[in-house]
Amino acid sequence: MAYIEPQARQLIVDAGNRLFELGLVARTWGNISARVSRTHFLITPSGIPYDKLTPDKIVLASIDDLGYEGELRPSDEIGIHADAYRIRPEVNFVIHTHQEYACLMCATDTPVDNVPEEYKEILGDFVPIGDYGLPATKKLCKGFRTAFENYPNSNAVIMKNHGAACAGKDYEDAFKIALALEEVCKIAVEDNYLKKSKADKFDEIEMIDFYLNLQNRNLKMPDEIEDLGESQRVGNSFKLTLKDGKTYDCLVDSNFYSEETPKVANIHREIYKSSDALYISHLTEPSTVALSVVGEEMYPYLDDFSQISGATIKVSEWDKSYIENSSTDIAKKLKRRNAVLIKGLGAICISKKKSDLVATKIVTDKGCRAEISVILFGKGEPISKFHRYVMRAVYTFYYSKQADWKVKN
């Protein structure tokens, strides 16, 4: 049954906070809607972070022609939600996410055809995958619509290289579907590894070792990872913090440091000199370290990775015998990007906002996990060069600036 408007507005706000708390979205990624009549639904606006969302900012839209009321523009992927309500009258709440394990499956272009018995009542016995389309395009909507129509017993659709859409009878049902989808995708990823490796039980580090072995028998995870630190810039200075809790005050335009200042300060200085970043952080999640060990330029398998981290991710090296050259090269390879792999040490991520830095780290590591999954499944293709650069440009010059403006105003 459709919701009354005030209730739907509050539920959408609550859902945004809940998705963020559950780790199913980062920053403003994903969108939420609720049906309020046979002909209309409410949907999250474009570019407003969930923690800034209020009931009055939710947009009323038409199911038939996507027309909307008010000054705020609805989510660019409004068509996916309208199609869900148009195709299935019993659907009253829709969540579109970029949740981790569903994204790993969408990177491999693999449907979930072995839904465990305990999840079939929630998801159906099959989770289809929709054809790829750029975000907010008719092609993306068509991929979702075709999959949703062709599998009428499925309550979720994985969208190739993009994310997932979950359509529920109500708010709670939609969340049950999203959480169940994440669990069955996790099971599918782990089962695939067990089948390929012949291992007795799943272990993430052993899976990463197996992946490295497939890439090159001589590749191994490092025993120790040097701490490259994190920092925040304020004016012409920055504060460098290491994992041991020690902090160091440094100047951007000076390479003079006391003997106690760690050499990695040079990396941060060069990045601040050559970019508008205000935050820098060292990412050392196992999947990211594994990709840095392989040491090859990355080509994104996921939309959000391409948008936030970069259309490609280059590889540099931290060599303390050549501090200035190494630091300069790391900074250079961050040009037009928010992440760079450091050979054998993980990645360095940068951002102008602290909240965006968190999202960049999440999305970068998810992108690395996606590439590992593609190798282990033996399926999946990177997003085309044209699409990668279009998405990065749109995000950099429009979407990110729009989000900043919305928050300020």
Answer yes or no: do 190 and 236 share one domain.
no
Answer yes or no: do 163 and 31 share one domain.
yes
Answer yes or no: do 258 and 166 share one domain.
no
3-state secondary structure of 166: strand
Name residues whose C-beta falls within 8 Å of residue 403's C-beta, 6 or more positions apart in sequence.
27, 28, 47, 48, 49
Number of domains within the chain: 2
**Residue 99 in contact with residue 179, Cβ under 8 Å?**
no
Answer yes or no: do 253 and 175 share one domain.
no
Q: Is residue 336 a part of any domain in this protein?
A: yes
**Residue 182 in contact with residue 24, Cβ under 8 Å?**
yes
Q: Is residue 288 a part of any domain in this protein?
A: yes
Indicate the pTM of the whole model.
Answer: 0.93
Name residues whose C-beta falls within 8 Å of residue 100's C-beta, 6 or more positions apart in sequence.
23, 182, 366, 369
Q: Is residue 208 a part of any domain in this protein?
A: no
Residue with structure tokens 């947009």? 59
What is the rounded distance in angstroms from the CA atom of residue 177 to the CA atom of residue 168?
7
Residue with structure tokens 């979930």? 112
Answer yes or no: do 125 and 271 share one domain.
no
Answer yes or no: do 173 and 126 share one domain.
yes
Name residues whose C-beta falls within 8 Å of residue 377's C-beta, 6 or more positions apart in sequence.
108, 110, 192
Question: Domain range spanning residue 369?
Answer: 230-408
Answer yes or no: do 172 and 289 share one domain.
no
- What CATH number is attached to the domain comprising 74? 3.40.225.10
Answer yes or no: do 85 and 40 share one domain.
yes
What is the rounded distance in angstroms from the CA atom of residue 127 to the CA atom of residue 110?
9
3-state secondary structure of 20: helix
What is the rounded distance in angstroms from the CA atom of residue 58 to the CA atom of residue 53?
8
Which residue, 165, 13, 160, 28, is CA-closest to 83? 165
Name residues whose C-beta falls within 8 Å of residue 40's C-beta, 6 or more positions apart in sequence.
60, 61, 62, 63
One pLDDT digit (tens) per residue for the chain, 409 residues: 799 999 999 999 999 999 988 878 765 578 999 999 999 999 999 988 888 899 999 999 999 999 999 999 999 999 999 999 999 999 999 999 999 999 999 999 999 999 999 999 999 999 999 999 999 899 999 999 999 999 999 999 999 999 999 999 999 999 999 999 999 999 999 999 999 999 999 999 999 999 999 999 899 999 999 999 999 999 999 999 999 999 999 999 887 666 789 999 999 999 999 999 999 999 999 999 999 999 999 999 999 999 999 999 999 999 999 999 999 999 999 999 999 999 999 999 999 999 889 989 999 999 999 999 999 999 999 999 999 999 999 888 765 544 443 333 3
| H or E stretch covering 338 | none
Answer yes or no: do 254 and 324 share one domain.
yes
